Structure 1
Amino acid sequence: MNKKLILGITGIFTASLLFSCNSNNKTQQTADTTTHDEHEAHDHSNHDHSAHTEAPTTMLKEVSKTLPDFTFYQLKSGIKVSKSDISKDKNNIFVLFDPGCSHCQQEAIALEKNIARLKDVNIYYVSMNDPALILGFFDNFAPKLSKLDNVEILVDKNQEFIQKIHVPNQFPANYVYGADGQLKAHWEGDKNINEAIAEFHK
């Protein structure tokens, strides 16, 4: 393979990583696409089509002030996780992320370095991506973080996050809900890790 081709591929790969941290492309395609070819571009290999025969057409532009009912699925077991499974005695942090997003990777790495400071909260990582990509994300960037008892990795098979909680403009998008299910804090994109952890405990 010649040097120009290698550089070209590297440039495209780098650009795609940077672009993926902006969620507009992904969520807009999810919301506005109903043609067969475009719908097939979304990975369907691991979930049931009966729950959604076409892409969702409603997205929540404002952050839900109260944690709504939802159904996500544990990455490894496939077990359903709903609002009733969420802790009622501590803050619950939801992190909507894209495995290819460099900012998401940086945040996960930083959180793993601060594991000792995360004991008093629950963290739910949520992604609409292919489970294999999600698994690779944690294997590569935060293997210890993903194994904590208070951290769950969830797959959003039916794009419920953007329909019921919020459509962010940037990844990662962090949402801190209190034990009472009320929104305490929210931010998108980069944030100093010390400031982020302080918000987790707000």
Structure 2
Amino acid sequence: MNTTLVYRKFTLISLITFAIGCQKDTRETIPEFNVLKTESNTIFNTKDLGNGMVTILIHFDPSCKDCQEEAEDIIKHKDKLARTRIFYLSVEDTSKINLFRDFFHFSDYQNITFGRDIDTAMAKHFRTGVTPLLAVYDKDNRLQVVFEGKANMSELLGIIQKIETSKSN
């Protein structure tokens, strides 16, 4: 084989490998998108979330049985989740989202917010239509784990505890 050809192939492979290594994973931090907050009927952007708290984004469908069971689990473990910021996001109609919120009395919890994902950004970002989908972010809003389908609550609580007790980020 011609040494020039080998050199060109090596150079091309090296450049491609370098380019891939330099690409930033867009799922690394909380994706930026607009949400219609159902409590106040105002729009906020996820870029406005501050740091300092574990954050869970939950993509859900109010009529989904697993989503309802997930909500029951969250209520059962509300004390362990009190320092965790939770955002329930759905593409469904606001009235259905509010009915779900009110049925589970989520309005009683300061750390839980409901919103309508007006551009279906979360499902697009995670390339899924699965509900529930939970994305857990650390105190610096870096993605730690994604649960597609109902999360194992023991595992979820363990991850949150590990994040909370890790060195300040």
**Which TM-score bucket, shorter chain as reference?**
0.7 to 0.9
Which of residues 35, 44, 57 in structure 2 aligns to 1:81? 44
CA deviation profile, 1:133-161 (whole Å, cap 9, x unmatched): 11111222x21x34311111011112122
Corresponding residue number in structure 2 for 1:178: 138
Structure 1 unaligned residues grouped into runs of 5+: 1-61
1:153 partnered with 2:114: yes
Corresponding residue number in structure 1 for 2:153: 193
Aligned length: 138
Corresponding residue number in structure 2 for 1:7: none
Distance 1:146 1:170 in 2: 25
Distance 1:100 1:161 in 2: 18
Identity %, equivalent residues: 25
Distance 1:193 1:63 in 2: 26
Corresponding residue number in structure 2 for 1:24: none
Structure 2 unaligned residues grouped into runs of 5+: 1-24, 164-169
Aligned residues of 1:86 and 1:92 also touching (Cα < 8 A): no
Q: Describe how 1:1-202 pairs up with structure 2 within 5 A.
A: 64-140=27-103, 142-143=104-105, 145-163=106-124, 165-201=125-161, 202=163
Distance 1:132 1:113 in 2: 25
Distance 1:102 1:135 in 2: 16
1:95 to 1:63, Cα distance in 2 relative to 1, 3 A: farther
Q: Return the offset for 1:63.
A: 7.5
Aligned residues of 2:101 and 2:114 also touching (Cα < 8 A): no
One-letter identity of the residue aligned with 2:151: K
Q: Return the offset for 1:186.
A: 0.7
Consecutive aligned runs of 4 or more in structure 1 exceeding 4 Å deviation? none
Aligned residues of 1:93 and 1:200 also touching (Cα < 8 A): no
Distance 2:88 2:29 in 1: 18
Corresponding residue number in structure 1 for 2:167: none
